[in-house]
Amino acid sequence: MTSRLLGACAAWLCLAPLPAYAAPEGVAQANESYRQGRYAEAVSGYTALVERQPDNPGLRYNLANAYFKKAGTGDFGRSVAEYWRAYRLKPRDSDIRYNFDFALKRAGDSLVPSGTPKEFHWLFYCLSDVELLGLQWLGYWLTLLLATAAILLPDRREGLKPYLAGAAVAWALVGSWWGLRLASDVSSPGVVLESSAEARSGPGPNFPVSFNAPEGRRVSILSKDGDWVEIGVLKEGLKGWVSARSVERL
């Protein structure tokens, strides 16, 4: 019975996501627009595709590229936002990492914080949050099913013990990794869309400007008051209020 249950779960995990794997129709057309330099048209095409498959990192990466090349008002900020979304979905993709870092450097930021070894950063972020959560659930399933089998099959209990211990340790490790990632991730992330957004000391134009945040800079949206949002600039650790239109929430 246990083996049947395990088999069913494995089959479900493999077959259920198959529809999401294939690239959607319309990519070639949008790519052709991009190739010919019609970036506004490419943005429209990729945007429609992303609405159909919001969790497709490749589509978000292509959309970010189109925004980056279009270079209109606020497009650079949108480009950084899309790279960020793509990176969150597939952080080990070398193209996504490169372009995201390229765009961040233009905004005075960088993907790998200074002082952090690149290899460590890659290892810590090689799996997306969702993948880590999925692995965590996998460890949970393995551990509980092996424990169930050990209870129901007393004759094989001794043989199952090493596997059960291994699954429990793996579950604990992945769970800890996932927890650390949750703790280190930016809460309520956003990206500055205005070329030099004026951050004020309060939610309104009557408050003095505290600092200027460059377009494309990653921020954490801390609170909202009407048409104003309070942002925290991650790199410099500054807080200020900007117009809600100046920031795109991820």
Partner 1 sequence: MKSVWPAALVALLLAPALGAQGVTIHAEVDRTQVSLDEEVVLSVSVSGDQANVPDPLLPSLPNFNVYPSGQTQSINIVNGKVSSSRVYNYVLKPRFPGKTTIDPIRVVSGGKTFATDPIQIVAVRPGSAAQPPPNGGSTERRQAQQSRRGGGDGSDVYVTASLDKEKVYVNEQLTLTVRFHTAVNLLGNAQYDPPTIQGFILEELPPERHGEISQKGRVFHFSEIKTALFPAQSGKLVIGSAKVRCQVQPDSVDPFASDFFQKFLYGGLAGQTRELKTTPLPVQVLPLPDKNKPEYFSGAVGRFRVTAGVDRKSVKVGEAITFSLTVEGNGNLKALDAPKLPEMPSFRAFDTVTSMSMTKAKDVVTGSKVFKTVLVPRASGKLSIPSIPFSFFDPAVGDYVRAGTAPIELEVTGGGPTSPVVGFVTPETSTPGVTSLQEDIRYVKDKPGRSPLSSALAVAAGSLWIHILPLLAFLGATLYGRYDEYLKLDPVGARFRGALAKARKQLRKAQTLASTEPAKAVEILSATLSGFLADKLNLSAQGLTLREVQQKLKTRFPRSSDDTMIQLKAVWEDLEQMRFAGAQQLDVPRTDALVSEIDAVLETIEKEARR
Does 202 bind partner 1 (CB under 8 A)? Our answer is: no
Does 41 bind partner 1 (CB under 8 A)? Our answer is: no
Residue 37 CB contacts under 8 Å (≥ 6 apart), including other chains: 69
Judged by CB under 8 A, the residue of 43, 80, 81, 103 near partner 1 is: 103
Q: Determine the size of the site formed for partner 1 (CB under 8 A).
A: 52
Distance of CA 237 to the CA centre of its chain: 21
| Span of 99-107, 115-123, 161-169, 220-228 interacting with partner 1 by CB under 8 A | 99-107
Q: Which of residues 133-192 bind partner 1 (CB under 8 A)?
A: 133-138, 140-141, 144-145, 147-148, 151-152
Does 14 bind partner 1 (CB under 8 A)? Our answer is: yes
Does 5 bind partner 1 (CB under 8 A)? Our answer is: yes
Is the CB of residue 230 less than 8 Å from the CB of residue 241? yes
Ranges of beta strands (E only) in 147-204 are 189-192, 196-200
Spatial distance between the Cα atoms of 171 and 135, rounded to a whole number of angstroms? 8
| Long-range Cβ pairs for the range 2-11 (8 Å, 24+) | 2/145, 2/148, 2/149, 2/152, 2/153, 5/145, 6/145, 9/141
Is the CB of residue 229 less than 8 Å from the CB of residue 223? yes
| Span of 114-122, 129-137, 185-193, 226-234 interacting with partner 1 by CB under 8 A | 129-137
Q: Which residue has the tokens 């930016």?
A: 186
Quick one: CA dihedral 39, 42, 44, 47, positive or negative? negative
Does 198 bind partner 1 (CB under 8 A)? Our answer is: no
Residue number, 169 or 236, with CB nearest to partner 1: 169
Q: What minimum distance in Å lies between the beta carbon of 240 and partner 1?
A: 19
Q: Which residue ranges make up the site for partner 1 (CB under 8 A)?
A: 5, 12-14, 16-18, 20-23, 27-28, 31, 34, 55-59, 61-62, 65-66, 68-69, 73, 89-90, 95, 98-99, 102-103, 128, 130-131, 133-138, 140-141, 144-145, 147-148, 151-152, 195
